[in-house]
């Protein structure tokens, strides 16, 4: 009897282990992806116009994120991270407003755009992907229906997401004077929401694109608007 009971226990343990194998494998893949993605997340948080990425750092991080994606290829966050690295490389390679795009820069922008599209399909409620999709379209000079849809989706899915509102604002600033008034209104609404959280970031964008005074004339009066629109010290 004891031998029979032991055999049944062993068989039960084997069956449970077999059933758990797919779960354990999935956990392993997600763990490895997260391990490789961690330094990418950390580095991206540290980037800014004042503290841009370094070329060798970009190459190292691309290798890390590609490895992470190989474990979980349908992870929207990882696709988004890779797109941000490619955008950073485009900036390092000379991406500037009102300047022709070199082929390497255009290639990186189009690759980033494709990744934002994929991330938006996988996680359509993620405002940041929609906003950055629109930003890549703007850098490529494609203010078309897809750009407009991405801006509307960013508002719909994350109206108070600061990073999304800043990305939408920047996408419009890239070609502000040529945008239809209806599209300008969408961008102005995003700026109004952003300045309630971080007036300094909005001011920085407007000064960077040399549009502080034209935009400020269209922003409603408020305490935050005054912070954004104070005169530039000469």
| Cα–Cα dist 28/91, whole Å | 35
pLDDT at 110: 98
pLDDT band at 151 (very low <50, low <70, confident <90, very high): very high
Evaluate the CA torsion angle 152, 155, 162, 196 in order and state its sign: positive
Residue (of 155, 71, 77, 150) closest to 115 by Cα position: 77
pLDDT digits (tens, 9 = 90+) for 101-110: 999 999 999 9
Do residues 190 and 221 make contact, with C-beta atoms less than 8 angstroms apart?
no
The three-point CA angle 210-213-217 to 5° equals 140
The three-point CA angle 82-88-89 to 5° equals 90
Enter the pTM of the model.
0.86
Structure tokens at 28: 């392993």
pLDDT at 35: 83
pLDDT digits (tens, 9 = 90+) for 180-200: 999 999 999 999 999 999 999
């Amino acid at each position: 009897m004891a031998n029979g009971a032991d055999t049944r226990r062993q068989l039960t343990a084997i069956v449970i282990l077999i059933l758990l194998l797919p779960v354990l494998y999935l956990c392993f893949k997600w763990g490895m992806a997260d391990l490789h993605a961690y330094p990418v997340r950390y580095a991206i948080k540290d980037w800014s116009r004042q503290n841009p990425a370094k070329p060798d750092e970009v190459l190292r991080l691309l290798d890390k994120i590609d490895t992470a994606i190989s474990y979980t290829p349908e992870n929207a966050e990882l696709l988004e991270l890779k797109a941000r690295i490619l955008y950073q490389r485009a900036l390092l390679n000379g991406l500037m407003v009102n300047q022709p795009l070199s082929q390497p820069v255009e290639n990186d922008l189009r690759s980033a755009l494709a990744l934002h599209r994929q991330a938006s399909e996988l996680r359509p409620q993620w405002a940041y992907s929609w906003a950055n999709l629109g930003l890549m379209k703007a850098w490529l000079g494609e203010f078309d229906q897809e750009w407009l849809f991405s801006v509307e989706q960013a508002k719909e899915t994350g109206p108070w997401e600061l990073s999304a509102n800043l990305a939408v604002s920047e996408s419009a600033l890239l070609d502000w004077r040529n945008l239809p008034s209806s599209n300008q209104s969408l961008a102005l609404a995003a700026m109004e929401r952003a300045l309630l959280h971080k007036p300094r970031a909005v001011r920085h964008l407007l000064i960077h694109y040399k549009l502080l005074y034209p935009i400020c004339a269209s922003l409603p009066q408020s305490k935050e608007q005054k912070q954004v629109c104070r005169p530039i010290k000469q």
